[in-house]
Amino acid sequence: MKIIKPKKLKKGDTIGILAVSGKIKDIEKINNAKKIFISSGYNVTVSETCFSSHRYMAGSCDKDCVDELHNFFLNKNINAILCARGGYGTLRLINKIDWNIIRNNPKIFAGYSDITILLAMMYKKSNLITFHAPMANGDFGSAINEYTKKSLINTLEGNTEFIEARYPDVYNSGAANGVLWGGNLSSLVSLCGSDFVPDENIILFLEDLNEPSYKIDKMLTQLFNTEKIRQNVRGIALGEFTNIKDDYDLKNIFSEMAHELKIPVSGGFKITHEKTKDTVPYGVKVLFDSNQGRITILDKYLTD
């Protein structure tokens, strides 16, 4: 499979803010994000789906979201696409997207949470490296965390060499190579039953929020009951699982998982719904060392 690498972000480029998931409840947050990027030296265009909604989703209908997604990739004046927010909606789109449009018009595409579904499917169906990254509404809609902003810009300019946990929680020691792939656990699990898993070895990264421990346990079990994931996973980097709704110790669940899978597993990565987060190239070849809590990027993930 030939991996497609988008072009680096440069000052003067145009960032397209795209809403294809939850509806935008406060357009001022999008305007604030726009101001931040303009003041940083970029041009910005905002999708029409930021200004309309149906039920709890962006756009007046699913077709609006798919059309805007297609249009943003086809638009030669847009150099990078930053999703507006997560929520719910992208699962409704995946069987309506023309993946050839994305394959033939590669560019930076970034987001997290519900956008995990599009990151996974773009890699699987279009071979495109994308980015698990902060978004316009929740992260740039008010006072942006400077660490988060620096990580995003640095990564989209092609300068990130590694991602590391400052204080790693080591569940199983070791090192492994693979393609960096994963994201929001509940979003990934919603794809089970679809053709979404890479055909090569993977280093799986995971995060989530607002879930009870038993449900995290259930979703991990469901994910690893997917035969191709169980066959291809070579290591697991755990981000933050925040606002857990019970008192059970997640570390016991992660330890059991690591013991059963017998692969390197460690946690503590700033891959999260929280304000301070790392931007992660999605689909790039990496070396994962669970003892060091480090993911070393082995290949260029952007072109000039």
pLDDT score recorded for residue 1: 74
Give dist(CA 101, CA 109) in Å, integer.
Answer: 13
The domain boundary, picked from 139, 156, 173, lies at 156
270-296 mean pLDDT = 98
Clarify whether residues 111 and 38 are in a common domain. Answer: yes
Clarify whether residues 194 and 107 are in a common domain. Answer: no
Clarify whether residues 102 and 204 are in a common domain. Answer: no
Give dist(CA 55, CA 60) in Å, integer.
Answer: 9
Cα distance from N-terminal residue to C-terminal residue, the chain: 21
Clarify whether residues 21 and 143 are in a common domain. Answer: yes
The CATH number given to whatever domain includes residue 90 is 3.40.50.10740
pLDDT score recorded for residue 247: 66
The verdict on whether 259 is a catalytic residue reads no
115-125 mean pLDDT = 98
pLDDT score recorded for residue 248: 77
60-86 mean pLDDT = 98
pLDDT score recorded for residue 246: 79
| Catalytic entry in 132, 151, 190, 207 | 207
The domain boundary, picked from 141, 156, 171, lies at 156
| Catalytic entry in 113, 126, 190, 266 | 113
- What region does 88 belong to: left with phi over 0, alpha with psi -120 to 50, or beta? beta
For residues 68 and 18, is the Cβ–Cβ distance under 8 A?
yes
- Total domains in the fold of the chain: 2
220-234 mean pLDDT = 97
| Alpha-carbon separation of residue 294 from 161, 241, 248 (angstroms) | 10, 19, 27
The domain boundary, picked from 102, 133, 156, lies at 156
Q: Residues 185, 2, 156, 14: what is their CA dihedral angle, to the nearest 10 degrees?
A: -110
The verdict on whether 70 is a catalytic residue reads no
Clarify whether residues 140 and 187 are in a common domain. Answer: no
Clarify whether residues 147 and 214 are in a common domain. Answer: no
Share of the chain above pLDDT 70, in %: 100
The verdict on whether 240 is a catalytic residue reads no
pTM: 0.97
Clarify whether residues 182 and 282 are in a common domain. Answer: yes
| Catalytic entry in 151, 240, 273, 290 | 273
H or E element, residue 125: helix 116-126
The CATH number given to whatever domain includes residue 284 is 3.50.30.60
Give dist(CA 241, CA 136) in Å, integer.
Answer: 22
User: Per residue in 34-68, pLDDT tens?
Assistant: 999 999 999 999 999 999 999 999 999 999 999 99
> Is residue 182 domain-resident?
yes
Range of the domain at 70: 14-156
**What pLDDT band is residue 122 in, cutting at 50, 70 and 90?**
very high
